[in-house]
Chains A and B, each alone.
Chain A
């Protein structure tokens, strides 16, 4: 229960100035008024209290229409005080909030922690009353009591309905195209320079007899870019196992190290060479950004890998890795979804997968129909985004003349209230 102290500094200062100004206003205006002081203003009407929607409970919204003397009539209303009690007749001495004049609602809410200050238990009945306050703290008029009302958490957030439909449509699209692909429907996919370079780069490393360096960057196992990078590593590892080239995978995050070890070992097993798997191909260095970069730079200069593959989440160290890679004369292929680092890879590397291309890489490398199907769904979603954006702009700009007024609120479909 937000008590008086909880009112923000701004509101306090505001009410105090209004109080002072009104006090002086009343005195100056009506010097002849009798000592009785201010007449009580009209009470607030149509008071309703209802559980706040779309929330995790512990919150009740009180609404009312302002008193007739607020801004008109006797114009002596300063603000409203929301009082709460546990029974209809019960003593109303629990002030939950004071709002300045002109407001029509107040949200009485608390956090979900049991012991928090002003905690509102769910599913317990409360009764509310709103007093219209005046300059004189003794003079106020109370509305009738409303209640019982209790707060509870909703199980579905209606504000996310546009997102809900979007997710459903996207999933349906993916399932549709994957099943089409499963039935052998041929799917065209435009060539991606960065991906074709991976195959030639592995061939190059094999001829030159120099290792391939695969770097995950600073992502953790719970980054989607890292999951995409795992899928790329699994296909690179398959080829490395077949061509018996040397693979080096220095890791920043221990969970990634464990997963990568598993991927490379399985690749060697699938290629029928379980004993060629070197235990220390995938190893951990440290979880400090620049110590990791120093170590990888050292590996590049000393091992002179033929190919450096950077796939995953990269931060400021992207250019350090790429420039040292240039010094050690390696072919470099990079892919990240960290927008700020893409320019450095584009400038310094031979091939770069820009943002979304990183996520499409696994479909390209494996050429598996199912994954190509999901790429098709991604393209349809992009087409939908394009069409909706154009429609929206049409609506906003020409709604007046073309009479497409119903389109005007089109934009709100995208506004998400969570």
Chain B
């Protein structure tokens, strides 16, 4: 019974949404809006599981001294610091007590979690660490209540304006993101060197099409001819193949959706 019920729900929600596509009525529009809101809210609860998995894996790596375990410390500190920044807003200019509170929070969380994981995860003196953690947590709450220079904001989003939160985003995440993306310029050159070899007919077609399009803006006598052929290649054969793939994907998606709703395909529910 436990395994059949979810498939009944899939069939129920699936047919409802298929029918909803054909009903323009106001109620069906509202239903679609609410159901997509549900998915987003479920997403947040799942995110809690995700963050716990990240913490659990990092701690496991540290406790068992797996290779590269030192870097898991950096990940955990980054995670906790960022969440701390996100929920707090600095009232007055002085940052000293703010950072002191953060340090205390980090150490107390570290000890608490080690204590909770306990001996099973190879943690020595788990009980003492747990109580030390509780003690530090008390100190932290004391600072949080009486230090006027900063405050927690769970119900309003002032945290997003916290300068540290914004600078961590603009000075750490954005350059890292842009540079990782820029690595592609190098990867594209090594991939094309390795793969564009006229080994057989298909590889030769791949090579010729790529060369034509890559030369599309080179100046020179027959520069105009190449750019015209490259536009033609993009507008005609490329269009045809894209359309064939798009139709194929469309039918593939509809078939997969149908298999899932009718319960023919059950793999995703873990029944291999």
Contacts and interface: CB of A to CB of B under 8 A. Distances in A.
Interface of A: 54-58, 112, 122, 153-157, 160, 163-164, 167, 170-171, 174-175, 178, 220, 222, 224, 227-228, 230-235, 237-238, 251, 253-255, 257-259, 262-263, 265-267, 270, 280, 283-291, 293-294, 302, 316, 319-320, 322-323, 326, 337, 339, 342, 344, 346-348, 354-356, 358-360, 362, 366, 370-371, 374-375, 377-378, 381-382, 385, 418
A58 B27 CA distance: 13
B154 interface: no
Interface stretch (B94-102, B109-117, B123-131, B187-195): B187-195
Interface string B239-256: 000100111110111111
A257 B54 CA distance: 11
Contacts of A175: 262
Contacts of B257: 224
Nearest to B187: A323
B268 interface: yes
In this complex, which of A171, A337, A344 has the most chain B Cβ atoms within 10 angstroms of its Cβ?
A337
B181 A316 contact: yes
B26 A254 contact: no
A258 B271 contact: no
Interface in B173-197: 173, 176-177, 180-181, 183-184, 187-188, 190-192, 194-196
Which of A54, A262, A323 has the most CB atoms of chain B within a 10 A radius of its CB? A323
Interface residues of B, number: 68
A187 to B, nearest CB: 14
Contacts of B237: none
B267 interface: yes
B177 A371 contact: no
B86 to A, nearest CB: 14
A347 B206 CA distance: 9
A235 B266 CA distance: 11
The majority secondary structure among interface residues of chain B is: helix
11 contacts: A155-B25, A174-B262, A263-B270, A290-B181, A337-B249, A337-B253, A346-B206, A371-B259, A375-B255, A377-B255, A382-B247
A253 B46 CA distance: 9
Contacts of A267: 270, 272
B23 interface: yes
Contact of B251 (A251, A342, A356, A370): A356
A294 B181 CA distance: 10
Contact of B176 (A155, A291, A344): A291
B92 interface: no
A234 B272 contact: yes
A153 B255 contact: no
Contacts of A358: 252
A347 B180 contact: no
Contacts of A254: 43, 46-50, 53
Contacts of B74: none
B145 interface: no
Contact of B54 (A174, A178, A233, A283): A283
Interface in B6-21: 18, 21
B50 A153 contact: no
Given A255-B42, A265-B270, A267-B270, A355 B24 contact: no
A346 B194 CA distance: 12
Nearest to B18: A167
Given A339-B246, A356-B248, A57 B25 contact: yes
B258 interface: yes
A380 B245 CA distance: 16
B39 interface: yes
B68 interface: yes
B265 interface: yes
A405 to B, nearest CB: 27
A359 B255 contact: yes
Given A293-B180, A385-B247, A366 B267 contact: yes
